[in-house]
Structure 1
Amino acid sequence: MFCLSFFSFVALGIAGAASVVSDDVLGVDLSLRERNSTTSLIDCLTRAGLNPVTPSNPTYQNDSLPVNLRLIYKPAALVYPNTTDDVSASVKCGAVNDVKVNARSGGHSYASFSTGGEDGHLVISLDNLNNITLSGDYVTIGTGNKLGPLYYFLWENGQRAAAFGTCPQVGVAGHLHGGFGYHGRKWGLFLDQVVEMEVVKADGSIVIANNHTNADLFWALRGAPPSFGIITRFTVLTHPAPTHAATFAFTYTWSTPEVASSAFQIFQHFAAETDLPSDLALQVRYTEATPVPTFSLNGAYYGNDGITGLNRTVQPLWDALGALNDSVPTATIFEDLNWIQNVVYEADSDPTIDPKVALQEAQGFQIPFYSNSLFYPADNLLTNASTLSFTRYTYNGTSADVNWYVLWDVFGGKNSAIAAVPQDATAYNARDMLMNLQILGYSTTLPYPDDGIPFITGILKSVTDPMPGGRFMGYPNYVDSQLSREEAHAWYYPTHTAKLQRIMREVNPKAVFDYPQGFLPT
C-alpha cells in the first residue's frame, strides 16, 4: 500500500473519523435470537475477565471503526487480550455462543474483515500482544506489533532487517496473506520468513505450527490466515541490514495515453526480460493529476556497490524511457541512503528525520476507499491493446469523484526470491507472477462517492478486457470487497482452494473464524 503521501492530507484520524460517523450508523439492531446470543457472549467474556467493549460502552464507536470508513460494521463486542490464554478464552466464548470470531492485528483489512466484514462478530484485537525478542538470526514477535516499531527494533538491535511490508502502521499478522516490501525480491515475502507460529485454534486449543508440527495448518496460515486460526506469536528469520540502499524516484508526465502506454510496455518488458539482480526493487506509481496522470518510476538497489550498481542495472530502462522524447523526468530523490533511511523513505516520510519518530510514532489513518488488484506473469505480458486501453481510460476517466492511483510492483522476474519458492510450498498462490497492480480510489469525505467503485472496477477491466486469453489473478492483501466468497477463492487461490477447504474441515469445522470471503468446511 502507498502508505502516507496520498492519505496524509486527508487522514481523518480516530477522532476525526468519529465526527463524520453518526451514532445511528453504528447503532446495533439485532434480532431477539442475536440479542440473546450477544448477551450470553458478553456474560462469558466478562466472567473470563476480558472486559468486553460493547455497544453501550462509550469507547465502542472509536474502538470499532476500521481503517476503511466505507465499510463500517458493528461488532457484537471487542476484547483486548493480554495473553494467549486470554485469546483462547475469547475464542471459546465466541464458539459456545455461536458468534463468529475475527482477529485484528493493526486493522488494515481493505474490506474491514478484521471487524467481521459484517455485523455481529466478536473482534479479538491483539494490540497488547506486543513483545519482541531477538535471538541470533531470529526474532519472536507478538502479533499486536506494527511494522514500524519492528523495523526500528531490529535496526537498533544489531542493525538487523526482515522482509516486511512498507507501511509502519500495518499490523504484522495482517500481512501474512503475503507481505510484500521493496526488499521482497531479495529476501522473499514476509510469510516466507516465518518459521514457526503459536496459534489459537477454533476450539480454543493453543498449538505450535511449523513445517513439522501441524504442518497443514502452517501451510494454510501462510497465505490465507483468517479462516484457520488466531496467531499470537511468530518466529521470523532476520537478515543483516544492507549497507547501501541506492534510492531513486523519477517522475514523468506523458502527453498522451499513447505515449504512456509505450512507457508501460517498456517498463514491463524490462522487468520480464532483463537479468535483474535480486537486490533491485522496482515500481511505477501512476497517479491522478492535472492535466494528465503522473508516471513515477521508483526503486532501490541494495547491492554493496550502491549508486554505481544502481546506474549499471537501471540505465537501460532510463535510456528507453528517455528515447520517448516526450517528458523530461524530475528526480525527486537519487542518493545512497542507509537501510533505515530507506525504510523511512519507502513509508513516504522524509529520510532525514529521526527514524524512531517516523517508524515508532507513525500516525494511522482512517478514510473511505475501494481497492482491487491484478497479477500477471512474465510469459503473458500485457498486450499493446491492454496498456493502451488502460491509459486511455485513466486519461479520460478522471471525472470520477475519487482520488486514485495504481501501483505497478515487480514481484517476480529473474532472480526474485519470491518466485524461487515452489508454487505449492504455501497457501500463497502467485509464485509465478511477475507484476502486481494495486488499484485504489479514495475520498476525503463520507459517504464514498457513488461513482467510486465503478470507476476503480473500470480501471481493472480496462486492463483485462482486451486480453481474454490473459492469465490474471489477485493479491489477497489488497482484497476486493466486492467479490463473493466463491469469486474471491477463484481469484486469490486458483489452484489452492481445494486443499484449503480440506484443511478447514480439519481445523475449523464449525467455521468459528469466518468472514464474507472466508473458507467454509464444505
Structure 2
Amino acid sequence: MIIITPDSLDYEKARQEWNRSIQKFPKLIAYCETTQDVSDIIKCSYDNGLRIRIRSGGHNYEGYSTGNDVVVIDISKMNNANINYEENTVTVQGGIKNTQLYNYISNQGYPFPGGTCPTVGVSGYALGGGWGYSARKFGLGCDSLIEIEMVNYKGKIIKANKYFNKDLFWALRGAGGGNFGVITSMKFKLPHKVNKVTYVRMTYQNISKKEQVNILDTWQKWIGSVDKDINLSGGLYHTNEEGVYAYFRGISYKNEEQTRKLLEPFYNIKEADIILEYDKYIDVVNQIASSYPPYEHFKSTGRFVNKYYYLNELEKLVDIINQPLPNNSIYTGINVYGLGGEVKSVNKYDTAFYFRDANYILLIQSAWEDNLYKEENVNWVLNNFKYIYSITEGSYINFPLLQLPYYESNYFGENSCRLRKVKCKYDPLDVFSFPQSIRY
C-alpha cells in the first residue's frame, strides 16, 4: 500500500479528479495493491474516526470519490484481468479502467459493453448501470455482471451473485459506487466474438434553429425504433468559433452499407458530413478514446426520456443551447445518449437500475477553461436544468447532480425503499457515506 499525505511530493497530483472544477483536499490517499490492503485501510480509518471515500478512476461528475479531510481508498493499482474461455467470462479487479479492459479482451476477439472514456473505472461505471455504445445490443454494463467481491465496513471480504447475498448483488447492479463497500473483483459474462464494427460520425454545421429542432425530432423518432445493433450519442453544441452545430457518433454492429440504411433519416435532414468506417472493434474503441482530453472543468447532468416531445418542447431545448455562452465556456451542450434495445429487455425491478424504459438520456453541460469562472458556468447549467427537469422522469446516477432534489427517488425510482434496506443490512454504521449516498 502506498500512502499519500498533504506532505507528500505527489499529493497535488494524487488528489485531483478528472473533473478539475472539483478541488478537494483529502487527509490521506491510500493506493491499495491487494484486497488485504483495502481491508486494512477500512478498519484503520474506522478505528480512528476517519471518513472514507472510494476511488477507482476518479471520474465521478460531482467528485464523490474524494472530499476534504477524508481517507481516499484508491484501487486503481488493482487492475488485473483474466479470461475463462470455458465459462466465456472475464474476471477483473476493481480498479481496472475501460481502456485496460478493452485492450485485454479485444485482443482475444471480444467486444464489451463498457464506457467510452478510456480512464473511467469499470467498477464505478458498471455499478451505476453502465451506459455505452454497445448497451442497446448487449445491455448495460451491470447486466453482464455475474459476481462481485466486496470488502465491507468491517474489512471482511464477501461475495455477491444470484445465489449468495442476492439482495446485495441486486443493489450493486445500478445503485452506483461507494454505497455498500469497496469492490475488489468483478466477473462479467462475455459477448460473442466480433471482428469488425462500423464507426459512425455525423456533423451538421451552420444550422438554423428550425434545423436544430428537426435534428432533435429526427433523433427521438429514430432511437425509439431503430435496430438494436446501433447506438449513438451526440447532440447540439455551442462554441464561440462555430456557433451552434450538431455532432453524433457511435458504433454499429452492421457493415457500412447496412449502417447507412439504418441512418437514412439523418441523411434526409440537410447536407451533413457523415463518415462511416468499418474497422476492427478495438481500433474503433481506441479512436473514440483518443478524443477525450486528460481532464476537464465542467458541470453536467443527465435525465431519462421515455416520451416523444412536441415541437414546442424541442424549441425550448434549442433556445437553451442558443443562449450566449457563459464567460470562459469552451462549449455548452444539449446531449443525447441512446437507450432501448437490450436495456429495456430487463425488468426495472430485477436490478437497481430503475429507469430502463427510457428511450435515451438527455444531458446538459458546460465546460470551461479557468476555474475562476466556475460559478457562472455552474449557474448556467442549473438555471437551464430546471426546464429539463420538468420534462423528464429520473436522473442517471453516473451523471449525478449535487443540487438534485429528492435524489434517491430521482436516481432509483420505486427501488429506493428496497435499496435503503440493503444499505442498512450491509453498511449498518454508514461507514460508506457521501453527499448523495443511500440513507436509511
TM-score of the aligned structures, taking structure 1 as reference length: 0.79
The answer as to 2:319 corresponding to 1:398 is no
Q: SS at 1:103's partner residue?
A: strand
1:30-49 correspondence runs (5 A): none
Query: Partners of 1:89 and 1:131 in 2: how far apart?
Result: 20
Of the three residues 402, 406, 409, the one matched with 2:337 is: 409
Query: Partners of 1:464 and 1:79 in 2: how far apart?
Result: 38
Aligned CA-pair RMSD? 1.9
User: What is aligned with 2:315?
Assistant: 388
CA 301–52 in structure 1, closer or farther in 2 if over 3 Å, else same:
closer
Structure 1 stretch displaced more, 144-153 or 310-319: 310-319
Query: Partners of 1:73 and 1:300 in 2: how far apart?
Result: 36
The answer as to 2:179 corresponding to 1:236 is no
Q: How far 1:313 sits from its partner (Å)? A: 1.9
User: What is aligned with 1:514?
Assistant: 433
Of the three residues 231, 249, 256, the one matched with 1:281 is: 231
Structure 1: gaps (5+ residues): 1-49, 323-327, 350-362
Of the three residues 203, 210, 213, the one matched with 1:261 is: 213
CA 457–382 in structure 1, closer or farther in 2 if over 3 Å, else same:
farther
User: What is aligned with 2:267?
Assistant: 318
User: What is aligned with 1:495?
Assistant: 414
Of the three residues 112, 117, 131, the one matched with 2:80 is: 131
Query: Could you report, residue by residue, the CA deviation over 1:258-301 in whole angstroms, capped at 9, with x for unpaired residues?
Result: 331122112201222x3x22111123332113453111233332
User: What is aligned with 2:273?
Assistant: 330
CA contact (8 A) 1:301 1:309 kept: no
Which residue identity does 1:111 align to in structure 2?
Answer: E
Q: How far 1:452 sits from its partner (Å)? A: 0.4
CA 404–316 in structure 1, closer or farther in 2 if over 3 Å, else same:
closer
1:144-163 correspondence runs (5 A): 144-156=95-107, 158-163=108-113
1:107-506 correspondence runs (5 A): 107-116=58-67, 119-136=68-85, 137-156=88-107, 158-175=108-125, 176-224=127-175, 225-253=177-205, 255-272=207-224, 274=225, 276-289=226-239, 290=241, 292-303=243-254, 306-319=255-268, 321-322=269-270, 328-331=271-274, 333-349=275-291, 365-377=294-306, 380-402=307-329, 403-412=331-340, 416-465=341-390, 470-483=391-404, 487-506=406-425
CA contact (8 A) 2:152 2:426 kept: yes
Query: Partners of 1:401 and 1:56 in 2: how far apart?
Result: 33
CA 81–297 in structure 1, closer or farther in 2 if over 3 Å, else same:
closer
Tell me the percent identity: 25
Which residue identity does 2:235 align to in structure 1?
Answer: R
Q: Look at both structures and tell me which one has the larger radius of gyration over its CA atoms.
A: 1
Q: SS at 2:344's partner residue?
A: helix
Q: How far 1:232 sits from its partner (Å)? A: 0.2
CA contact (8 A) 1:129 1:145 kept: yes
CA contact (8 A) 1:261 1:387 kept: yes
Which residue identity does 1:250 align to in structure 2?
Answer: M
Query: Partners of 1:84 and 1:103 in 2: how far apart?
Result: 14
What count of residue pairs does the alignment treat as equivalent?
434
TM-score of the aligned structures, taking structure 2 as reference length: 0.93
User: What is aligned with 2:10?
Assistant: 59
Query: Partners of 2:198 and 2:32 in 1: how far apart?
Result: 42
Q: SS at 2:258's partner residue?
A: helix
CA contact (8 A) 2:99 2:118 kept: yes
CA 297–86 in structure 1, closer or farther in 2 if over 3 Å, else same:
closer
Query: Partners of 2:413 and 2:22 in 1: how far apart?
Result: 26
Query: Partners of 2:152 and 2:346 in 1: how far apart?
Result: 27
CA contact (8 A) 2:207 2:245 kept: no
CA 426–56 in structure 1, closer or farther in 2 if over 3 Å, else same:
same
Structure 2: gaps (5+ residues): none
CA contact (8 A) 2:355 2:413 kept: no
**After the TM superposition, which segments of 4 or more aligned residues of structure 1 sit over 6 Å from their partners?**
none
